[in-house]
Structure 1
Amino acid sequence: MNRKNIAFWYIFFFVFFLDLTTKYLAENFLQGKTISIIPNFFDLTLVWNKGAAFGMLAEAPDYVRKFILVGSSIVAIVVVIVYFLKSKDKLSYVEIFSLSLIGGGSLGNLYDRFLLGQVRDFLDFYIKDHHWPAFNIADASITVGIGLFIFYELYLKKKSIINS
């Protein structure tokens, strides 16, 4: 197995296990309570999210919501893995890192949606009464992975700032 394979799969499963571990800890230690980490800015609090980002689809019938959210997670994982396997020799480490963040995060949320029917969120950022929707390690990994991939493809790759 070459270094790019090892890097991809290690990061992919590291993100997945980190996500599941932190969700497990949140579920077991935050049940019914909030822990203030940075007062008036960041708390740990358990929120069960039936929907997607920002609670989208939370009010949809269970069969519709589950079909769309489980299906989109499966598609994301398959697309990431197939893209990696077909392109790994041409991909930079930045692309591999971003793809593994997306894939591992998608697998973490798929686990919750498929087995629990909802996602465990616990990272709560806010200013006074204005809260950003709570999220988890999987959500953060997917967001960072997508942002990094797009930034690399649009700006860095063409300028050859970062080499493979």
Structure 2
Amino acid sequence: MKGYTKPVILIVSVLLIDQIFKLWIKLNMTLGQEYKILGDWFIIHFTENNGMAFGLEFGGEAGKLALSLFRIAAVIGIGYGLHYMIKRKYHRGFILNVALIFAGAMGNIIDSTFYGLIFSESTWFEKAELFPAGGGYAGLLHGKVVDMLYFPLVQGHFPSWFPIWGGEDFLFFRPVFNIADSAITVGVALILLYQKRYFKEEVIEPESYNSEVIED
């Protein structure tokens, strides 16, 4: 189906990379375990969150359920929008960026929807087990999202004269995130960066018609 091939390949690729990475992390690392990839600048650090992207939280069990349902509704909306844009032949770059956002949202929905059912609890001392005999650690839509990418690029102290945080430690970049979060962030950033190119108005040349002179 013309127009769908590249977006579908991109979506499937992001989902596969995201889920393979998460499955490996869940089955081979304990909570808080980490591997330094580029010294102290890039670290694989296993953590989980109950809420939104980059480890943000949202309102306990009820909030978790509401967030999962919102994610599903959002993905349905984005998926329909993507289909509409392909049909209407929107800018290819814009379509691929939306496909990135769709894939990222889907990646985290898989975690929150199914991980609680298929994994045992990850702890600071024990690795998770896939399809445990006693059942998973949570019900449908109550799973935790797996995060692992950590880039503490700059660490230091605020000077004593600095307002509010004077004398305190600072760390950039603090959040731990995953491939799905990255896909969403890259997709949104590219749309903002190239919006003029994506949404420029097409100048339609007026058609010329041969008019006949009708004499009275």
Q: Tell me by how many angstroms 1:104 deviates.
A: 0.8
Query: TM-score by structure 2 length?
Result: 0.66
- Aligned partner of 1:156 among 185, 188, 197: 197
Letter in 1 for 2:151: F
Aligned-residue RMSD, C-alpha: 2.0
Listed as ranges, the matches of 1:3-22 within 5 Å are 4-22=3-21
For residue 45 of structure 1, give the secondary structure of its aligned residue in structure 2. strand
Q: Tell me by how many angstroms 1:9 deviates.
A: 1.3
* Seq. identity, %: 26
Gap runs ≥5 in structure 2: 117-142, 156-169, 203-216
In 1, are the aligned partners of 2:17 and 2:179 still within 8 Å (CA)? yes
CA displacement 1:110-164 (0-9 Å, x = unmatched): 01111231100000110336252100000000111111123222x323398xxxx
- Distance in 2, matches of 1:133 and 1:159, equals 38
In 2, are the aligned partners of 1:20 and 1:108 still within 8 Å (CA)? yes
CA displacement 1:71-112 (0-9 Å, x = unmatched): 232122112211121221321221121111111111110011
| Cα distance change of structure 1 residues 72 and 152 upon mapping to structure 2, 3 Å threshold | farther
- Distance in 2, matches of 1:71 and 1:21, equals 24
Query: TM-score by structure 1 length?
Result: 0.85
Letter in 2 for 1:74: I
- Distance in 2, matches of 1:78 and 1:146, equals 18
**Higher RCO, Cα 8 Å, sep 6+:** 1
Q: Which residue of structure 2 lines up, in the alignment, with residue 36 of structure 1?
A: 36
In 1, are the aligned partners of 2:54 and 2:181 still within 8 Å (CA)? no
Letter in 1 for 2:71: S
